[in-house]
Structure 1
């Protein structure tokens, strides 16, 4: 079992102006994020626009990414898909190129919503690989809410050792913590309090534009320097509130560009922020430039 503690940065996928993956920028970003001290990188995350990447693109991205990381931090790959056979195929490929863990959405878009169906899905995948599986609670996107009872059944499966919780229900998050040690926070706006409550680590999209601050926040909480953590958090919070309430991925990607990280381009059908939204984003980022 990989120890996925700390800041696992849900990494952006940089695109050029025409919508093609810019692998040179991608490799440069990996170096910058590793140098910032992140504990892991998540390739093909939602922030990385996974739904708009082909399987071939994901495979190439993961191969290049894992090689560039070179063991300097954990590598997590999202291998979600609608078809179970495709999930297994993607997962085996990610494992073969050195991924430490796989992040996999539950069945979505009219997939099974009953607990038995979800458990069976993850059982099929878990029995096909030998590395950690990170389940994913993000009901606002999938329509599937992972209850505590379901989580307990899932963590009994081989290799299902983590749950990423992006639901934003902090009560449920703390119930997860009572059920398993493998909880990773995925809700940007609760990060400080999730870490203080004892979550193992985070998978964090917002860290794309403030990787050093994210690592510093984790280090402060780990050292129980909570007053200092709270001061830093108040600098981070305005932009986190903005990205959580606006178009998430375009906001994160633009924020990263404004801080010298990435191209700022998104792939269709996503679109860039409006001029008004962009102005508000820049205003929310000001505390980080102090």
Structure 2
């Protein structure tokens, strides 16, 4: 039995126009997603803009999350850093406040040898007892965690319990399932891209940590339910809608502003401000975003949806 499963949205960090953490906005998002029926919440991942936050800001976001969720669903905190000592400090903090797990992206900017990558994860896993998810996002880190290395990490560090595999090729996820999960069934394998959810499940994976879970969680949740019920007509219908979602990631880089705007268009009353050097989504792109969302699921407009 895997520790984590299903849909776990990577929650954006909500901030006001002065770049201060918006505690009330964070609570609105948390309550909305839990009410929608998600299986967990991940904070301070890529959408959490963790690279733009100070150490103390990251701790504050984690504390708000754990306190307000209050055990309703599992909370996973992103504690990755280019600095192993900082990653350890953040991971210890997450453990001390009661998070259920941590997710750790491999250090970015400078590629590391396999020896150094092992040392980085061992340094965290040896001092923190929380379940640790690997976070593989080679398009952003510049370095892939290949399936053989993932297997070695899992067999070296007992606290490693899963992976979020944000990769273009579904073949990478397939290899992780074949080489790692086949031998370690309790290891959770999550896709990062929305359109990979169905092939991940079909190949034996455990779910998705997908951005659309923030603004259209019913699509992934519907697919998961239909898949579990072997209602393949509904599976295909939800999959076809999810397939169109990744278009929105091309509207801006980085795309936290896109996701926050999508959440607002779906009826969640939050600030869409982001940390510099990013800026809120331009008006011209908001229209394109709305068209994509309407096409994906005939989403009602903000005006016609009940306020959260």
- TM-score normalised by the chain length of structure 1: 0.94
What's the secondary structure of 1:3's corresponding residue?
coil
Q: Which runs of 5+ in 2 are unaligned?
A: 182-187, 301-308
Give how far 1:235 is off: 2.9
What's the secondary structure of 1:155's corresponding residue?
helix
Specify the alignment match of 2:251 in structure 1: 246
Conserved in 2, the CA contact under 8 Å of 1:134 and 1:164? Answer: yes
Conserved in 2, the CA contact under 8 Å of 1:243 and 1:251? Answer: yes
Pair 1:123 & 2:122 matched: yes
Pair 1:163 & 2:163 matched: yes
> 1:14-93 residue pairs with structure 2 within 5 A?
14-93=14-93
Give how far 1:2 is off: 6.5
| 1: CA distance, partners of 2:48 / 2:64 | 15
Q: Which runs of 5+ in 1 are unaligned?
A: none
Pair 1:208 & 2:208 matched: no
What's the secondary structure of 2:42's corresponding residue?
strand
Conserved in 2, the CA contact under 8 Å of 1:188 and 1:244? Answer: no
How many residue pairs get aligned? The number is 288
Specify the alignment match of 2:281 in structure 1: 273
| 2: CA distance, partners of 1:229 / 1:196 | 11
| 1: CA distance, partners of 2:8 / 2:263 | 16
Measured on the aligned residues, the alpha-carbon RMSD in Å equals 1.6
Give how far 1:108 is off: 1.4
Give how far 1:277 is off: 2.1
What's the secondary structure of 2:8's corresponding residue?
strand
Runs of 4 or more consecutive aligned structure 1 residues displaced over 4 Å after TM superposition: none
> 1:142-161 residue pairs with structure 2 within 5 A?
142-156=141-155, 157-161=157-161
| 1: CA distance, partners of 2:219 / 2:271 | 21
- TM-score normalised by the chain length of structure 2: 0.89
| 2: CA distance, partners of 1:124 / 1:58 | 20
Specify the alignment match of 2:224 in structure 1: 218
